[in-house]
């Protein structure tokens, strides 16, 4: 039987790379996103190595999620590998975020992965593996990126809990990509940001290699390792430091996407 993988947010960035990396390893791809044209582009790239189907769905919409899950189950059952990659990152001052942005951040980043996981894992033949694409923003609070940080922290807790609950049945792999070139980070240009962005295809290839090698977690040794470690060891002083550098943080997360 051919291996299959469902990748959310497969029309761009790291998700497009994950789809390609899986296609190169012989997986049949189920590509999910909102933008039909971008998904068709990913499907065309994937077709050099394997086969793909496109599912257009807004993961923030519970009805659309339900339709997606039913369509996938009706076509061939649950995918062998479920890759939770889609994300929304409405950064900037918290009080300027709209209700729609708040809802989308939690729905896409946390509710959708929880919903898809529970429905597919209850199928007669459940997935054998799950990859959760997290972020270092799940490892320490990021002021001015609070909705992303809070929803990814929730996703991290869910993934770590499922690593235990699913042990012996399905493998759960946590991925913490470095700062990467993509639509999500457009506007995070060097100057305000201390580092260069990684290439999305290279990051995706490393995530899939790590999963295929049986690793439970993959992270990069980048600049965010330091604040993550500092927060874990000394949360009080870390919060004091965040307050001291509040203006700098606000500048870093200023919207420069115009
Ligand atoms: N780039 C980085 O520096 C970085 C660092 C750490 C972690 N990550 C994580 O890597 C993952 C991929 O991000 P990326 O950097 O590759 O950015 P990206 O290219 O913007 O990818 C995000 C994807 O999510 C999809 N998406 C957003 N809202 C959706 C919705 N409501 N319904 C369905 N799909 C939706 C988008 O597709 P449509 O617009 O077609 O719907 C898009 O393909 C995310 O989980 C992100 O948190 C990225």
User: How many angstroms does the Cα of residue 90 sit away from the middle of ligand 1?
Assistant: 12
148 is a catalytic site residue: yes
Residue 182 DSSP symbol: S
Q: What is the pLDDT of residue 222?
A: 80
User: How many angstroms does the Cα of residue 83 sit away from the middle of ligand 1?
Assistant: 12
- State pLDDT tens for residues 218-234: 999 887 788 899 999 99
Residue 31 has pLDDT above 70, yes or no: yes
pLDDT tier for residue 190 given thresholds of 50, 70 and 90:
low
**Which residue in 91, 148, 176, 211 is the catalytic one?**
148
- Name the nearest CA neighbour of 59 among 97, 11, 129: 11
- Name the nearest CA neighbour of 228 among 172, 160, 178, 163: 178
User: How many angstroms does the Cα of residue 16 sit away from the middle of ligand 1?
Assistant: 10
Mean per-residue pLDDT over the chain, rounded? 95
Q: What is the pLDDT of residue 189?
A: 75
142 lines ligand 1 (CB under 6 A): no
149 lines ligand 1 (CB under 6 A): no
Residue 191 has pLDDT above 90, yes or no: no
Output the residue whose Cα is nearest ligand 1's atom 24: 86
- State pLDDT tens for residues 81-101: 999 999 999 999 999 999 999
Residue 200 alpha carbon, nearest atom of ligand 1:
16
Q: What is the pLDDT of residue 258?
A: 58
Under 8 Å between Cβ of 154 and 110:
yes
Rounded Cα distance between 177 and 219, Å, is 6
């Amino acid at each position: 039987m051919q291996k299959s993988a469902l990748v959310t947010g497969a029309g761009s960035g790291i998700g497009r790379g994950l789809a390609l990396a899986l296609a190169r390893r012989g997986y049949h791809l189920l590509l999910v996103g909102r933008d039909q044209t971008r998904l068709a582009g990913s499907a065309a790239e994937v077709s050099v190595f394997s086969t793909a189907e496109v599912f257009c769905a807004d993961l923030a919409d519970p009805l659309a999620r339900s339709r997606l899950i039913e369509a996938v189950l009706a076509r061939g059952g649950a995918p062998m590998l479920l890759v939770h990659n889609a994300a929304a990152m409405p950064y900037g001052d918290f009080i300027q975020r709209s209700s729609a942005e708040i809802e989308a951040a939690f729905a896409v980043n946390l509710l959708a992965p929880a919903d898809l996981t529970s429905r597919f894992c209850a199928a007669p033949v459940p997935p054998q593996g799950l990859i959760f694409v997290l972020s270092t923003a799940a490892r320490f609070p990021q002021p001015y990126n609070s909705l992303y940080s809070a929803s990814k922290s929730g996703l991290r807790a869910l993934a770590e809990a499922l690593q235990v609950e699913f042990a012996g049945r399905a493998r759960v792999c946590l991925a913490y990509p470095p700062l990467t070139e993509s639509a999500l980070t457009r506007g995070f240009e060097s100057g305000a940001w201390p580092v260069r962005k990684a290439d999305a295809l290279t990051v995706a290839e490393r995530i899939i290699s790590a999963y295929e090698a049986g690793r439970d977690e993959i992270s990069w040794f980048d600049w965010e390792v330091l604040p993550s470690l500092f927060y874990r060891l000394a949360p009080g002083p870390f919060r004091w430091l965040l307050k001291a550098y509040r203006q700098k943080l606000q500048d870093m997360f200023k919207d420069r996407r115009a």
